[in-house]
Amino acid sequence: MPSIKFEGGSVEVDKNGYLKNIYAWNETIAAAIAKREGINKLTEDSLEVIKFLRNYYIKFNSFPLLKMVCSNLDKPSSCMTKPFKMDPLKAWKIAGLPQPVEEALVYLQGPPHPQK
């Protein structure tokens, strides 16, 4: 089983890097996942967004509308991308949540871009 190592231990992930047990998550694990995703440091703003995603998922078992994340945190509508500088799918993974189902993946990745 793949795992992510962090200071103090390791945690199991699936083949795509999502936590197997969402309740094993903490900020140290979030930092380790972020590093694995190419993000060297999580800011207070990014942690606030990540914690909102976790809490929303745990309460409703779904992904929130992206603009809802920012408005609930009293942040600008671009809070998921600026200064967060992270796509919503990475934020979801760093939040320690399970791999989204196909419908959520389509939503998170946005509409397909036309071929030129």
Instruction: State the pLDDT at residue 45.
Output: 86
- pLDDT tens digits for 80-116? 776 556 688 888 999 999 988 777 677 666 555 454 4
| CA nearest neighbour of 70 among 82, 79, 62 | 79
Cα–Cα–Cα angle for 103, 106, 22, rounded to 5 degrees: 65
- pLDDT tens digits for 6-62? 888 999 999 999 999 999 999 999 999 999 999 999 989 889 999 999 999 999 988
* Helix (H), strand (E) at residue 58: helix 44-60
Question: Is 11:19 a contact under the CB 8 Å cutoff?
Answer: yes
pTM, two decimals, is 0.83
Rounded Cα gap, residues 116 and 89, in angstroms: 26
